[in-house]
């Protein structure tokens, strides 16, 4: 069985990938972007890639099942997960992006 510290370091070594669909000049979109960056910095120790896609950008490929802005999508690791909204409900955001476990581990680590 793997000890906690080991598991945490493995997870944090994974390169996480997110896409955030936004609309320029929208308060919710700006809020979502800064919140997502904060979360990533805090729990993923900077090991992530975040792509911002403006839905009004003609060249952008918007998947047909994206309905709302802002929508945050976890591309990697699989499976894909999504959260729509400005991400202000932190625990829901973490749950929706599959980061709950990290939050827990982080807490334990800081306790040690």
> Which range, of 2-10, 41-49, 60-68, 104-112, touches another protein by CB under 8 A?
60-68
Residue of the chain from 55, 100, 103, 106 that contacts another protein (CB under 8 A):
55
Q: Tell me the per-residue interface mask from 86 to 105 with another protein, x by CB under 8 A, - otherwise.
A: xxxxx-xx-xx---------
Smallest gap from Cβ 110 to another protein, in A, equals: 24
CB contact at 8 A, 66 and 8: no
Q: Which segment (4-12, 43-51, 63-71, 104-112) binds another protein by CB under 8 A?
A: 63-71
Which residue has 């997502």 as its token pair?
Answer: 36
Residue 70 near another protein by CB under 8 A = yes
- Between strands 16-22 and 48-54, the pairing is parallel
């Amino acid at each position: 069985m793997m000890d906690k510290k080991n598991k945490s370091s493995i997870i944090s070594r994974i390169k996480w990938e997110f896409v955030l669909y936004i609309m320029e000049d929208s308060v919710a979109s700006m809020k979502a972007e800064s919140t997502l960056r904060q979360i990533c910095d805090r729990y993923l120790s900077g090991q992530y890639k975040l792509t911002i896609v403006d839905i009004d950008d003609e060249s952008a490929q918007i998947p047909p099942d994206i309905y709302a802005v802002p929508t945050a999508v976890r591309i990697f690791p699989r499976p894909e997960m999504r959260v729509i909204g400005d991400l202000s409900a932190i625990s829901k955001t973490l749950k929706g992006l599959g980061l709950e476990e990290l939050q827990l581990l982080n807490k334990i680590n800081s306790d040690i």
